[in-house]
Structure 1
Amino acid sequence: MVCENQKPNPTQQEAIQEEIRKTFGQNFLQQIIDNSYDSMFVTDKFGNVLLANEGTGKFMGLSIGELVGRNVKDFVKHGVYDWSPTIKAIETRSVVSGIVRNNRGNQQMVTSKPLLDEVNDILMVITNARDTDVVNQYFEALEKERTSVRLYKTAVKYLSDSDMENKEIVAESKQMRQVIKTSNFIAKTDSTVMLIGETGTGKEVMARHIHRNSLRSKEPFIPVNCAAIPHELLESEFFGYVRGAFTGANPQGKPGLFEIANKGTLFLDEIAELPLAMQSKLLRVLESGEAKRLGDTAAYQSNVRFIAATNRDLKAMISQKLFRSDLYYRMNVIPINLPPLKERPEDILALAYKFLDTLNKKYALKKTLSPKATRALYNYSWPGNVRELRNVIERLFITSAGEVLNFEDDFFMNSIARSETSAEKSPAPSARVYQGTLKKVLKSVEEEYVNQVLADCGGRVGEAAQRLGIHRSMLYRKKNNK
């Protein structure tokens, strides 16, 4: 017995051939042809059939005995089929392929290949064929695979274009802990969510949190900024288009966002910026779960979980005829309000230290915030919310030369310090001189120590409260009533 990967020597080859002849006789070539899945026959250089299998006879409506010995021109002449690739292959001395139709209307994809001798004379022509239904099924499966590949490639592009940093939500404040609790509960459902909050409050971070904790977590999360897509491209972006749908289109066509996010989550940020015409089309997809590519006649199913976000008053926009009321009520199934940073000051230092920790890891440094810096960050109103805080920390991290960020040379932080009533420069801690009543001095010392512990704990209120030996609610009061 010859091993699978072992090449037989000439003696072994002769033994194998002899074994085949003993098993099948001298007609072993006929056995090979008969057991071919495809229709197959062989002719000489004049087109006379030398060998044929049952598949060929079935397609032509003739027995093998009626095929062998006859010329293929006779089959065409008597209408057995409409034309002969074998004849074309003999005439052109080249491989010929095409669709052949028999007298019953059945079709096969046929290929005829001439075999040439050493002086380029035709010895024989080998013809094989396969039903077009099988061929079409193959091409449909191939196109389906290609479509899947295009979807994955497009999804990867969207994901790579977005901020893929693993953003964990900071929730030291009571308000944010309640938001997280609600989000974790509704994440397990497929209900549509509307995130409402000022610019920079972390709506996309919350949307990602809901997706990560949902039953769709292993499927795509596709974020879309509705305000960033030109109005004339909205329909092609959302629905996709087929090849040749319009001038300038991708010649391969393009999947739409509803296809890319299929089985996953589609996050529609700035949904208030969608024009009314697109709002109507979005409503149709929400209600039917069907979408249709531009230029296509067939609709496809889109199993998508929608999360929308806005910083605008949609009810006011409805009264101004700028937003459809039916879309609003369809999207506003579970509204979640994200409080601005000024309403949850307990999260300020925790966020600041989270951003600082990320930058330290990125640049292999160990920078930290000084007590003065923590006071300044805590006292600022942050109109730009979390986004502004992150940008400030990054800028100060990059521009500060030392490991302790005092922000002495930063205009932004100095402007905050000047707005504080107690912004006078203090001596070094070792040389600090206290004045006033004992109550006032104790309050100052307590404030400095609380800030120091918070800084040591990276802004984590729960951990700081434990180290201070007080309840976190008391720590909140001390920070809010200083």
Structure 2
Amino acid sequence: MRLEKDIQISISQIKQIFDRSFDGIFVTDSEGYVIFINHTAAHHLNRSVENTIGLNVNELMQMGIYDRSAALEAIKQKRTITMRVKTITGNSISTSLPIIENDKVLMTITNVRSEKTLDSYIKELEYERATAQRYRSAANYLSEVNKKSRLIIAKSKSMETIINTAQNIATTDCTVLISGESGTGKEVLSRFIHLNSTRSDEPFIPVNCAAIPHELIESEFFGYEKGAFTGANQQGKPGFFEMANNGTLFLDELGDMPISMQSKLLRALETGEIQRLGGTTRIKTNVRVITATNKNLHQLMTEGKFRDDLYYRISVIPFQLPPLRERPEDIVELSNHFLQEYNLKYNANKYFSDRSMLSLMDYAWPGNIRELRNIIERIFIITQGDQLEISKQMINHQHSRMTSASEYAELDLKNYMREVEKHYIYRALEKHEGRIGETADYLGIHRTLLYKKLKQFEELACESIDY
């Protein structure tokens, strides 16, 4: 450092520094007359430096150069003022700082920056924020996956064939269509493919197409720019394709996608480009798409509800997941897996009786793996001892419906209200596919209370069941 002498900067050098500033710099005296303006600020006003110095800011406003003055407000209020100013060349953000001595304003220094420049910065920040969120999601997903086996739990020959094929095609970028009944493990298979692909360190973004309102689906998929529609985020928003860039986008319940959106999805798959709603530029993305449905897409195509060209584009590699009732070997494997999972979760050492496993294998499981998991968890929770006793009647009881009006007529008020509550809670559980947390939120109660009520229902049911 040069400490032995002061570094002097001349007035001429200061002017050169200001003239080379990326920000517009605008200086007025205490009455608002321009005493200095650099080339950047002059450019914002579409004037030359020479023709601006000496003018009063009121004159500039009268000439229509800009609509209001931050400098005049700073002089008037004797404090720093920031405002949006509409100039002849476009909008800008102006910040005026008054230089005050003995409570008198000597001059104001105004910094000017184009709103377009600020918007580009905001957009860049939003993109970085979205990217950071993508990687946070990816990190959370990967940390969750690392706690579990990378293998799909299955023993049946049909599932072994599917798993081997999935492992072979995982390293490619081909589109995949997974069909099967609800609860058969379509998302599990899609995650397995992603985890075994070259994109495994990138985001996995699951999307339920049936859960998105039709009027919002395009903006959710492709994002939107600032002010694209009423109620839109002021900074705009990236869509699913941008969030999944370099990773995998899993589109579940694809059969519920409106026909108008299907053509836009096809275009994105064909070109690899998307355009935000309200935007004018196309954004290149690198996304692997895996789709899933529990509907018959061939039937939907016949009915004109699903595009043939989209079907052929997404079904390069098709998988048909068999229902659980057609692979009883997997019932044993999955049941033991879930039991071990809950033993670890609740620090227990519970086990199935032989009769329990026979009952589990003898049931048709219309809700497939999801139903199996949920029932095992519920019975695990309400069982006091270590041995889990499960009968087919108990499993069927989970699907019990409200009794008829004539049966209700025989009940006293207390039991009548209990039956109504039980039916309502079980319907809520079915609506949320057995997810305790979501059901509790839907009912407006704490999950602990929900567990308590379910336990009470099961205890009352067990009293009337012949084992």
TM-score (normalised: structure 2): 0.67
Residue 358 of structure 1: aligned partner: 341
1:33·1:40 contact (CA, 8 Å) conserved in 2? Answer: no
1:100·1:110 contact (CA, 8 Å) conserved in 2? Answer: no
Matched, 1:342 2:325: yes
Q: Post-superposition shift, 1:302?
A: 3.4
Q: After superposition, what is the alpha-carbon deviation per residue over 1:345-377, rounded to whole angstroms, capped at 9, x for unaligned?
A: 332222111111111111111111123323333
Matched, 1:325 2:311: no
Deviates more, 1:165-174 or 1:29-38: 29-38
CA distance in 1, matches of 2:200, 2:367: 30
| 1:220–1:107 distance in 2 versus 1, CA, 3 Å | closer
Q: Aligned runs of 1:33-432 on 2, under 5 Å?
A: 34-35=16-17, 37-38=20-21, 45=30, 71=54, 88=72, 92=76, 94=78, 95=80, 112-118=96-102, 120-127=103-110, 132=114, 136-137=116-117, 139-150=119-130, 153=133, 166=148, 168-407=151-390, 411-412=394-395
CA distance in 2, matches of 1:243, 1:124: 37
Opposite residue 121 of structure 2, the aligned amino acid is: A
Q: Secondary structure at the match of 2:216?
A: helix
| 1:309–1:88 distance in 2 versus 1, CA, 3 Å | same
Deviates more, 1:178-187 or 1:220-229: 220-229
Q: Post-superposition shift, 1:334?
A: 0.6
Q: After superposition, what is the alpha-carbon deviation per residue over 1:7-59, rounded to whole angstroms, capped at 9, x for unaligned?
A: xxxxxxxxx6x821xx43xx556655644552657665467888898989999
Over alpha carbons, which structure has the higher Rg?
1
Opposite residue 123 of structure 1, the aligned amino acid is: L
Deviates more, 1:273-282 or 1:332-341: 273-282
Opposite residue 261 of structure 2, the aligned amino acid is: M
Q: Secondary structure at the match of 1:195?
A: strand
Opposite residue 204 of structure 1, the aligned amino acid is: E
Q: Post-superposition shift, 1:304?
A: 2.0
| 1:99–1:375 distance in 2 versus 1, CA, 3 Å | closer
Opposite residue 142 of structure 1, the aligned amino acid is: I
Residue 478 of structure 1: aligned partner: none
CA distance in 1, matches of 2:309, 2:388: 51
Opposite residue 390 of structure 1, the aligned amino acid is: R
- Alignment length (residue pairs): 384
Unaligned runs of 5+ in 2: 399-467
The root-mean-square deviation of aligned C-alpha atoms, in Å, is: 4.5
Residue 462 of structure 2: aligned partner: none
1:116·1:123 contact (CA, 8 Å) conserved in 2? Answer: yes
| 1:392–1:30 distance in 2 versus 1, CA, 3 Å | same
2:178·2:319 contact (CA, 8 Å) conserved in 1? Answer: yes
Unaligned runs of 5+ in 1: 3-15, 416-482
Q: Post-superposition shift, 1:110?
A: 6.3
| 1:115–1:346 distance in 2 versus 1, CA, 3 Å | same
| 1:330–1:92 distance in 2 versus 1, CA, 3 Å | same
Q: After superposition, what is the alpha-carbon deviation per residue over 1:57-80, rounded to whole angstroms, capped at 9, x for unaligned?
A: 9998679xx99xx84559x89xxx
| 1:320–1:155 distance in 2 versus 1, CA, 3 Å | farther
TM-score (normalised: structure 1): 0.65
1:407·1:414 contact (CA, 8 Å) conserved in 2? Answer: no
Q: Secondary structure at the match of 2:245?
A: coil
CA distance in 2, matches of 1:276, 1:106: 41
Q: Post-superposition shift, 1:340?
A: 2.6
| 1:261–1:54 distance in 2 versus 1, CA, 3 Å | closer
Q: Post-superposition shift, 1:223?
A: 1.4
